Amino acid sequence: MTIQFTTDGSPGYRRLALWQDIVCDVFVGLDCKSDLGNAFRGSVTQASLGRAVCSEVCSDRQHVFRTPSRIARSDQDFVLIALGNRGSGGVVQDGRETVIHPGEFALYDTTRPYELKFNDAFTQTIFKVPR
């Protein structure tokens, strides 16, 4: 069964807060920031694959943080595999940084802090696998 979450139809002033709620519910506790304000848009379409979850994320530019305080409040651990479809995005974890372009992927661990940097609109497929 496929489920879609979107900021479409939400008042502009509420979109970024709604987006943060969506990604926290679908993935893990995160902090999201964007300079687009009321113009921000994003959607996540997700489907279960056994114990794993596959999601397509389509969003505007943003900066995402998985902080030590968010990790401390979490009771589940995952490995995330991000596959670039459109646009590019940076992943920073443990002092290492990579950029995911279309057709490329990166793995990151939700038990350690990380940052995601998207300077433009993007689409990625994310596989969330329990550790």
If you search the block for the tokens 């550790």, which residue do you land on? 131
Find out if CATH 2.60.120.10 is the number for domain 2-130. yes
Q: How far apart are CA 114 and CA 68, in angstroms?
A: 9
Which run of H or E residues covers position 3? strand 2-6
The verdict on pTM exceeding 0.85 is yes
Tell me how far CA of residue 26 lies from CA of 31, 96, 98, 119, in angstroms: 13, 25, 23, 22
Q: How far apart are CA 66 and CA 70, in angstroms?
A: 6
The string of pLDDT tens digits covering residues 52-97 is: 999 999 999 999 999 999 999 999 999 999 999 999 999 999 999 9
Phi-psi region of 87 (alpha: psi -120 to 50; beta: other; left: phi over 0): left
Q: How far apart are CA 13 and CA 70, in angstroms?
A: 24
The string of pLDDT tens digits covering residues 108-120 is: 999 999 999 999 9
Amino acid at 23: V
